[in-house]
Amino acid sequence: MSDTLKIYRFPDPVLRIKAAPVENIDGELQQFIDGMTETMYKAPGIGLAAIQVGKPISLVVYDISPPEESHKINVIMNPEIVSREGSITYEEACLSVFDYSAEVKRSNKILVKAIDREGKPIEIEAEGLHAVCLQHEIDHLNGVLFIDHISSLKRSLYKSRLKKILSKEQ
């Protein structure tokens, strides 16, 4: 097994970097994917974008299977949402946003084009939680956090609470 990776937290500027497309799928990248997967499960979370562990490449790992089922890891690279429909409001949290969750409105159904772990083109039709997870992680690849989708008042309240938490840690 690989070592777990450091998950960067808001307000770290690395989280605002736009990810570059994955162009070279090699053994080093496969090891990195394994490390991301282990990190996500240990956190624990249902999704993790490479940018969250400090690597600005267009790569996401996620697993939305229920906890009582065995792990079903999904790896997508260079994802692009090509269609959207409907809307859903879902309570979201994030491994990079410490101690906070909020309701976010997103598309209920999406179609994503991407490449898989081997570089083969794939299409994913996602609905509900699956669609929310993909939109959340694809946002990360564009330097967007779920807190960017909430009201400025809620965001400023979170930022001031976070400042207090961080000042106590130092």
Catalytic residues: 137
- In sequence order, the 6+-apart residues with CB closer than 8 A to the CB of 48 are 7, 36, 39, 40, 60, 61, 62, 95, 137
Identity of the residue numbered 110: I
Cβ atoms of 147 and 97 closer than 8 Å: yes
Q: How far is CA 58 from CA 18, 52, 54, 153, 166, in A?
A: 9, 11, 12, 31, 29
Identity of the residue numbered 153: L
